Amino acid sequence: MLPLPLTREIVLIGGGHCHALVLRMWAMKPLAGVRLTVINPHPTAPYTGMLPGFVAGHYSREALDIDLVRLARVAGARLILDRAVAIDPVAQTVSLAGGRVIPYHTASVDIGITSDLPALPGFGENAIPAKPLDRFATAWDAYLAAASDAANVVVIGGGVGGVELALAMRHGLAQKGHPSAPVTLIEKRNLLFEQSKSLTKALKSALKSNAITVLENVEITAITHDTVVLASGQSIAANLVIGAAGARPQAWLKDSGLDLNDGFIAVDATLRSITHSDVFAVGDCAHLTFAPRPKAGVFAVREAPVLFANLRAAVSGGSMQAFRPQKDYLKLISLGQKSALADKWGLRSSGAALWRLKDRIDQKFMDQFHDLKPMAPPDLPTQVADGMTEALGSRPLCGGCGAKLGGGVLGSVLNCLPLTERTDVLSRPGDDAAILKGPGGSTQVITTDHLRAFTQDPFTMARIAAIHALGDIWAMGGKPQSALATIILPRLGPDLQAEWLREIMSAASEVFGAEGAAVVGGHTSIGAELTIGFTVTGLCDAAPITLAGARPGDRLILTKPIGSGTIMAAEMALEARGDWVASAWKAMTRPQGDAAAVLAGAHAMTDVTGFGLAGHLLGMARASGVEISIDLNAVPFLDGALELAAAGMRSSLFADNRALVPELPVEGNPKAALLFDPQTAGGLVAAVGAGDVGNIICNLNSLGYEAYVIGACREGQSTVSLGDT
């Protein structure tokens, strides 16, 4: 039986704390018929509560991050790594910085705030806003790593957040061996003007004891690359300036058509926009019209169960719940060292015990995002046929090239195909692509490929599938001519069906159009899951480049790092870090037509796909009658691939690929194991003359490729071996 159809789209704009919790809840209790989409610029979202501890050096950068890739996987959600720049509540669409337009039935906004100071001359070029947190955290990490005795920090904004950051920076610099590095806190009004006198006194005392210079009631007129200029004419030396002055709404909200309060989305007690009931807003970007509260993460966390319930109700006809925020909350303010100040109901205390309490609260919050389990496979019937366990394997079936048949099975069948008697078909049975003789001595090449989806985003998957299908055309030196799509969609409601198909064809047209090829149609059907494929034709001005032709003395050039199969397998198992997955997606979505043009003079060339690097080089070695020696230390790997391979992670096609070259030693060697990792939209590998290597590498580098010389061809048996070049 096919899965139930998807009929409604919920779009979560932003990866804030509330949305992260909603994803966690959705994983435990999904709603049948809903496709959940998350839009966020980065694969991770930093947790506000641990930011001062990270700045002070108590937590690593990784400890600060909520991994949205893992959350989306466990929730069955689509993750789009892009930034929202507009919402049209009438058309029910979200526009992204990359140009995509995402429709929704129900949307929720959780994009936080900014502490940018755009009106301050020089701020955009010479300073970093403390919010959004991801950019600030990355900038501080880099600054601290390179800090010297010349470190000189200025924090603009004397609220609680600015005070916390100044204290944390003082401690962080001291931990790096720079205890005397100047830290200055500047406020244009009275320091902590919104706080009680007793809290202000306590925090001023902490600033004084940490030798932090405080400038109150001063105006900043400009920021240069090394100074902060005051209205008095005084200049404060600074090689890092942080803006922490107040909470400002994201600028694009002002043109949203939603009702705003001082730029923040006005919501009612159900957390819905007071003017557009299909749009929700939570966290710092929302204004609670029924009970205004300060911008604090505690409210976002407590909004999550209400938002979760109301999103479900909005697309299923249920009743709405009301959010009732507490009037006061416990403030735990980090004092730089492992000490904190507590404030509630006008009562306050400080010390190491309170920091430990804050740490326990923060760690408990983060633990719920670390303790994620992949969905368990359904139980087998009590009685099954022999061979069921072996057929299922020990790991879930991978997507992309990891889901393909092994080379042994393919070879045993394709070798039985009869040789053609046609004189206009120049390729032999079993080749990846056909070479056809055209009129007037012209040559046409044709190839076909399809992929089982490994991402929930049809647009990204279509882009990868198109680039993957073009690989054989590029590898043969052909110019892409036309493409036909073969698409299997899961069961969808009529509007989602049209939208998915639109996204797929839009991505395909973008990729093929950029290469000069026309998408001329195709075929669609409905099945259990998304599968996308393309049949592509290309024209060759010269004789096609094949696997044959590599010569002894040739060098092998690879245009992309390997490891995508292992990373995608680990992502399914919730074992891959989000930034590793994002890096792999970026590699797979890069076309290689420009690289193919540089490699047009290669003696032999192939794209690295399902059989892995070793398997495809074996095909070249056999077709060319040479031995190919791989310099394992020169082979590039995607971020995270080596760590995952060392931990034993393997794609489901690994064993079949390993059987193609059993003589290569892989035990205990993760680099060697990755030679058998199936690649999706992998790089081109070309055999070129040794004298041409320098120019080719230089030209590829100028196009942005980190091209690599990974081995050489020599006389010998038609096999693949390991060795230095």
Angle (nearest 5°) at CA 369 between 363 and 373 = 130
Tell me the DSSP string of 497-546: HHHHHHHHHHHHHHHHHHTT-EEEEEEEEE-SS-EEEEEEEEEESSSPP-
Q: Which residue in 561, 560, 576, 588 sits closest to 453, CA to CA?
A: 588
- Rounded Cα distance, 723 and 725, in Å: 7
> CA-based Rg of the chain, rounded to a whole angstrom?
29
Specify the 3-state DSSP secondary structure of 230.
strand
Annotated catalytic residue: which of 18, 398, 401, 713?
A: 401
Q: Exposure pattern of 186-206 as b/e (b: 16+ CB <10 Å)?
A: bbbeebbeebeeebbebbbeb
Q: Residue 256 has which token pair?
A: 């949203």
Amino acid at 256: S
- Strand order across the beta sheet in which 93-96 lies: 84-88, 93-96, 101-103
- How long, in residues, is the chain? 725
Q: Residue 8 has which token pair?
A: 């409604």
Burial (CB < 10 A; 0-12, 13-18, 19+), residue 40, is: buried
Q: Which residue in 419, 422, 591 sits closest to 511, CA to CA?
A: 591
- Strand order across the beta sheet in which 286-288 lies: 260-261, 264-267, 286-288
Tally Cβ neighbours within 10 Å of residue 256: 18
Q: Is 167 left (phi over 0), alpha (psi -120 to 50) or beta?
A: alpha
Neighbouring-strand partners of residue 78: 37
Q: Are 660 and 408 in contact (CB under 8 A)?
A: yes
Q: Clarify whether 698 is annotated catalytic.
A: no
Angle (nearest 5°) at CA 487 between 484 and 492 = 145
- Rounded Cα distance, 666 and 710, in Å: 17
- Rounded Cα distance, 241 and 224, in Å: 10
- 387: Cβ contacts below 8 Å, ≥ 6 apart: none
Tell me the DSSP string of 338-379: EEEEEEETTEEEEEHHHHHHHHHHHHHHHHHHHS--PPPPPP
- Rounded Cα distance, 499 and 93, in Å: 12
Q: List the catalytic residues.
A: 401
